[in-house]
């Protein structure tokens, strides 16, 4: 039976061999900090369950430690309240609301943040406290402040971080408001996603400082962006390679909606194959075009439901080999998606890494290629 130290060392070696993690200081941090101190029991997805169900993996039980030292995200809370140890049955349904992010992503993001020695860092989304502790180990307790929205999660993280022997500054509150005491940070890293860059961040990170955050939305598409703050309230940056996604920050989550009812509307031929918005970057473009819409469905059968106006669009394979779309409501969602997909195609269908973002008093714009390229305003 392997010990925690052996499993940890094997995981770190595998991450280093992979080539994506090159900074020896961050690898050393991962070799030092035992992840099991932060997760306790966690949830495992029940394969093939629809809607998704989760099985608790109990602390100290069979496979528990091995699971912790695989490179995967461990879900530690569902629906903002259910912890694995609360579950009395064998499985439970719910939506993940807190987790320990997979180690390769945590370490990659710490590397991508390009922190310089002595810089103060604000982390948003303490979660289990694992990424916070890696940061505290590498940067020094005094340089790291971390904010967690959920008081129960924040309390558990605080006790885990203390038991690991670290003392970063921990805050329970809404990290989208930044540090309640204000601050002049050199870096900000978010391990929850946002629909737009919160303005307080742009005043608490010093000009020249950097913000690393995943932009996401109500259609679940994501892109990881590294922005440089150019002045108070302004920033610009680019999206990074890879396929990064995070749970959305609680205040940016979509409002509750009624049970889906597909209603009649105007039907026409779709100008694009709807399956394009099922791809990683196609879904991103569709979300930029219709930022208040939730996306459901798959392949040629896409459903968009605009949360703010109730507008709907639904597509289907046509009888003659093409596709049809039915739209209703004040926002013609599919018209917007088609137009956006055509602009994206004209630009060569880039992955998110071909996109950038500019934030100013005038708004927040995501663009392709260069600042004056085709772009879309974020819903600030």
Question: What are the residues binding ligand SAM (CB under 6 A)?
Answer: 98-101, 106, 124-125, 127-128, 130-131, 147-150, 153, 174-176, 191-192, 246-247, 249-251
Nearest approach in angstroms of CB 322 to ligand SAM is 41
Nearest approach in angstroms of CB 259 to ligand SAM is 26
Task: Return the axis-axis angle of helices 130-139 and 103-112, rounded to nearest 10°.
Answer: 40
DSSP 8-class letter at 233: T
Nearest approach in angstroms of CB 28 to ligand SAM is 18
Residue closer to ligand SAM, measured from CB, 42 or 367? 42
Residue closer to ligand SAM, measured from CB, 193 or 357? 193
Cis peptide before 346 (omega within 30 of 0): no
Cβ-proximal residue to ligand SAM, closest one: 127
CA 114 – CA 343 distance, rounded (Å): 33
Nearest approach in angstroms of CB 238 to ligand SAM is 23
Residue closer to ligand SAM, measured from CB, 37 or 333? 37
Contact between 188 and 204 (Cβ < 8 Å): yes
Q: Is 301 exposed, middle or buried (0-12, 13-18, 19+ CB in 10 A)?
A: middle
Residue closer to ligand SAM, measured from CB, 149 or 367? 149
Contact between 253 and 246 (Cβ < 8 Å): no
Residue closer to ligand SAM, measured from CB, 97 or 315? 97
Q: In what order do the strands lie in the sheet with 234-239?
A: 169-172, 144-148, 121-124, 185-190, 205-215, 223-231, 234-239, 355-360, 363-368, 375-377
What b-and-e string marks burial along 221-236, b requiring 16 or more CB atoms within 10 Å of the CB? bbbbbbbebbeeebbb
Nearest approach in angstroms of CB 340 to ligand SAM is 28
Decide: helix, strand or coil at residue 80. coil
Nearest approach in angstroms of CB 176 to ligand SAM is 5
First-last CA distance in the chain: 52
Residue closer to ligand SAM, measured from CB, 150 or 338? 150
């Amino acid at each position: 039976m392997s010990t925690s130290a052996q499993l940890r060392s094997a995981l770190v070696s595998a991450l280093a061999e992979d080539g994506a993690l090159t900074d020896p200081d961050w690898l050393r941090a991962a070799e030092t900090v035992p992840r099991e101190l932060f997760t306790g029991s966690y949830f495992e997805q029940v394969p093939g369950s629809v809607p998704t169900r989760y099985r608790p993996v109990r602390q100290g039980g069979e496979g528990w430690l091995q699971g912790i030292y695989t490179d995967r995200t461990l879900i530690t809370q569902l629906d903002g309240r259910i912890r694995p140890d609360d579950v009395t049955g064998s499985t439970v349904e719910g939506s993940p609301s807190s987790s320990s992010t997979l180690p390769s992503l945590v370490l990659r993001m710490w590397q991508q943040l390009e922190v310089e020695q002595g810089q103060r860092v604000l982390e948003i989304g303490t979660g289990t406290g694992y990424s916070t502790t890696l940061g505290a180990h590498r940067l020094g307790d005094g340089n790291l402040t971390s904010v967690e929205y959920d008081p129960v999660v924040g309390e558990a993280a605080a006790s885990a971080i203390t038991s690991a022997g670290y003392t970063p500054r921990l805050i329970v509150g809404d990290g989208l408001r930044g540090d309640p005491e204000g601050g002049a940070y050199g870096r900000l890293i978010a391990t929850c996603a946002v629909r737009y860059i919160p303005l307080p961040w742009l005043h608490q990170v010093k000009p020249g400082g950097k913000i690393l955050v995943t932009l996401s939305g109500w259609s679940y598409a994501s892109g990881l962006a590294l922005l440089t703050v150019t002045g108070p309230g302004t920033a610009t940056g680019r999206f990074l390679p890879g396929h990064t996604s995070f749970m959305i920050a609680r205040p940016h989550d979509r409002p509750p909606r009624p049970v889906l009812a597909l209603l009649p509307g105007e039907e026409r031929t779709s100008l694009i194959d709807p399956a394009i918005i099922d791809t990683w970057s196609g879904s991103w473009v569709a979300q930029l075009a219709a930022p208040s819409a939730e996306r459901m469905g798959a392949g040629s059968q896409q459903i968009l439901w605009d949360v703010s106006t109730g507008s709907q669009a639904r597509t289907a394979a046509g009888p003659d080999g093409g596709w049809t779309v039915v739209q209703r409501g004040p926002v013609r969602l599919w018209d917007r998606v088609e137009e956006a997909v055509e602009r994206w195609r004209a630009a060569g269908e880039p992955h998110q890494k071909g996109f950038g973002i500019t934030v100013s008093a005038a708004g927040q714009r995501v663009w392709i290629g260069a600042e004056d390229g085709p772009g879309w305003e974020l819903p600030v």
